[in-house]
């Protein structure tokens, strides 16, 4: 009865009320004769959110990590050389997975706060005349540092080198929130999950696969990595009939139907624009806080879905997070790995609006001050308000005038 908990982590995100309603339901028969209509409509509409017209979408009962694994297992072989870069906890974990699954990973380590080194990629791809590199991996949005990378640039690097490597993208905290163009950018495997831009609870790993990726899978036939749960083959065979190879998470699928309907009605461009507006407000707040700064090293890297923020010198970011949680009922994102104690994060993706973020910024502000930061109280929220006042569309406002 002490009010709502506030959730401003970069996923799971806040579930919109219609989606919550849609998931308040009894169980159903996933082998019902009319289930395929539902499934096939869903898979078609998911492609719209991914901006793809060919290829396929796979939906696994898993987290996004499962979809990462599926992408690798189904299209690559042990020993295949791949090009990756590492600049935060999630790109780091992806490299770790790739190595554990047996790939020969060429890793480029980048300063945390920057993202995919497109020029380096270009150089290495151009040098790989023999096309030993089978795939190039790019984390579109590094959730740990709040850094967005230039996927279109990676595509251009591949094209410039006339290189046939597949392009793998981790879009877990970007797809459905910030611009992502599967077809236009020539992405081959694009991973996301239910609990970010799709505004659902965690539990679905979503994977887009291009025709080229599907062909790579087919070429493997029964060779390649051992795979079963995440195998494309089984999923394709059953999805083509409108069913799944094992019991799907129908509650989440019904929720996804609802969130997709909302998203497609709104339009992806409009969603991306909203995320940008909201992110600008958060960044204005950070700018206003003396001694704080974004982990992202400059506007080119700014993420519109999450801001990782260095606490001022002498302030332990863990105190900020803990105070926000225990005293102000607000979940902020922790500083992961080498950012632990140094940075905290504000997630600003999914179903959000300016007043929610004024609350989040206020929580961070109060917690910062409590933790010893010498910021001017209210400075952040004032800066954010100015941004929001200037950019928030004045929906339908038939302003009532005095007689």
DSSP state string for 228-246: STT-HHHHHHHHTTT--SS
When asked if residue 79 is in the footprint of a second copy (CB under 8 A), the reply is no
When asked if residue 316 is in the footprint of a second copy (CB under 8 A), the reply is yes
Return the residue matching tokens 């502000």: 365
Residue 267's Cβ-side half-sphere holds a number of Cα atoms within 13 Å equal to: 4
Interface pattern 154-193 for a second copy (x via CB under 8 A): ---------------------------------------x
Give the shortest CB-280-to-a second copy separation in angstroms.
Answer: 15
> Residue 89: enclosing H or E segment and its boundaries?
helix 89-100
Of 239 and 334, nearer to a second copy (C-beta) is 334
Which residue spans within 159-227 are E strands per DSSP? Answer: 166-170, 189-193, 204-209
The residues, any chain, with a CB within 8 Å of residue 110's CB and separated by 6 or more, are 85, 86, 87, 116, 117
Give the shortest CB-131-to-a second copy separation in angstroms.
Answer: 24
* Cα 180 to Cα 151: distance, rounded to the nearest angstrom: 8
**Given candidates 48, 81, 156, 318, which one binds a second copy under the rule CB under 8 A?**
318
**Given candidates 113, 209, 334, 349, which one binds a second copy under the rule CB under 8 A?**
334
Give the shortest CB-189-to-a second copy separation in angstroms.
Answer: 15
When asked if residue 389 is in the footprint of a second copy (CB under 8 A), the reply is yes
Phi, psi of 298 (to 5 degrees): 110, 160
When asked if residue 16 is in the footprint of a second copy (CB under 8 A), the reply is yes
Give the shortest CB-10-to-a second copy separation in angstroms.
Answer: 11
When asked if residue 4 is in the footprint of a second copy (CB under 8 A), the reply is yes
Give the shortest CB-224-to-a second copy separation in angstroms.
Answer: 11
* Cα 140 to Cα 147: distance, rounded to the nearest angstrom: 8
When asked if residue 330 is in the footprint of a second copy (CB under 8 A), the reply is yes
Report 189-218 residues binding a second copy (CB under 8 A): 193, 195, 199, 201-203
When asked if residue 223 is in the footprint of a second copy (CB under 8 A), the reply is no
Give the shortest CB-242-to-a second copy separation in angstroms.
Answer: 14
**Strand-strand pairing, 81-86 and 104-109:** parallel
Preceding amide of 12 cis, omega within 30: yes
Give the shortest CB-400-to-a second copy separation in angstroms.
Answer: 4
* Cα 388 to Cα 357: distance, rounded to the nearest angstrom: 10
Give the shortest CB-158-to-a second copy separation in angstroms.
Answer: 26
Tell me which DSSP letter residue 301 carries.
G
How many residues in the shown chain lie near a second copy by CB under 8 A?
A: 125
3-class DSSP state of 350: coil
When asked if residue 151 is in the footprint of a second copy (CB under 8 A), the reply is no
Report 257-296 residues binding a second copy (CB under 8 A): 259, 262-263, 266, 271, 274
Give the rounded distance of the alpha carbon of 395 from its chain centre: 28
The residues, any chain, with a CB within 8 Å of residue 111's CB and separated by 6 or more, are 87, 297
Report 354-373 residues binding a second copy (CB under 8 A): 354-356, 358-360, 362-363, 365-366, 369-370
When asked if residue 241 is in the footprint of a second copy (CB under 8 A), the reply is no
């Amino acid at each position: 009865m002490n009010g709502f908990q506030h959730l401003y982590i970069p996923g799971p995100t806040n579930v919109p009320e219609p989606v919550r309603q849609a998931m308040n339901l009894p169980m159903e028969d996933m082998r019902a004769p009319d289930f395929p209509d539902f499934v096939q409509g869903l898979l078609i509409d998911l492609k719209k959110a991914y901006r793809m017209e060919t290829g396929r979408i796979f939906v696994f009962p898993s987290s996004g990590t499962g979809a990462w694994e599926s992408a690798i297992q189904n299209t690559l072989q042990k020993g295949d050389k791949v090009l990756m870069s590492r600049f935060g906890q999630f790109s780091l974990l992806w490299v770790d997975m790739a190595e554990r699954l047996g790939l020969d990973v060429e890793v480029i380590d980048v300063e945390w706060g920057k993202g995919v080194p497109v020029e380096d990629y270009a150089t290495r791809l151009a040098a790989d005349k023999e096309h030993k590199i089978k795939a190039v991996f790019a984390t579109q949005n590094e959730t740990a540092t709040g850094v967005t990378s230039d996927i279109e640039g990676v595509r251009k690097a591949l094209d410039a080198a006339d290189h046939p490597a597949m392009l793998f993208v981790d879009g877990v905290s970007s797809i459905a929130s910030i611009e992502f163009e599967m077809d236009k950018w020539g992405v081959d495997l694009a991973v996301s999950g239910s609990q970010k831009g799709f505004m659902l609870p965690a539990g679905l790993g979503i994977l887009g696969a291009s025709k080229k990726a599907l062909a790579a899978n087919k070429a493997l036939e029964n060779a390649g990595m051992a795979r079963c749960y995440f195998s494309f083959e089984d999923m394709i065979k059953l999805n083509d009939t409108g069913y799944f190879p094992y019991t799907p998470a129908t509650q989440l699928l019904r929720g996804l139907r609802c969130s997709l309907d909302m998203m497609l009605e709104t339009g992806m461009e409009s969603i991306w624009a909203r995320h940008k507006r909201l992110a600008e407000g958060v960044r204005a707040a950070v700018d206003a806080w003396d001694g704080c700064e974004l982990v992202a090293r400059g506007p080119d890297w700014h993420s519109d879905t999450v801001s990782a923020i260095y606490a001022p010198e002498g302030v332990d970011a863990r105190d900020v997070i803990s105070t926000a949680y225990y005293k102000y009922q607000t979940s902020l994102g922790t500083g992961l790995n080498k950012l632990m104690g140094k940075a905290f994060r504000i997630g600003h993706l999914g179903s959000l609006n300016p007043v929610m973020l004024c609350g989040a910024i206020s929580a961070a502000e109060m917690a910062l001050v409590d933790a010893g930061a010498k910021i001017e109280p209210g400075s952040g929220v004032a800066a954010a308000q100015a941004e929001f006042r200037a950019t928030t569309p004045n929906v339908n406002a038939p302003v009532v005038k005095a007689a």
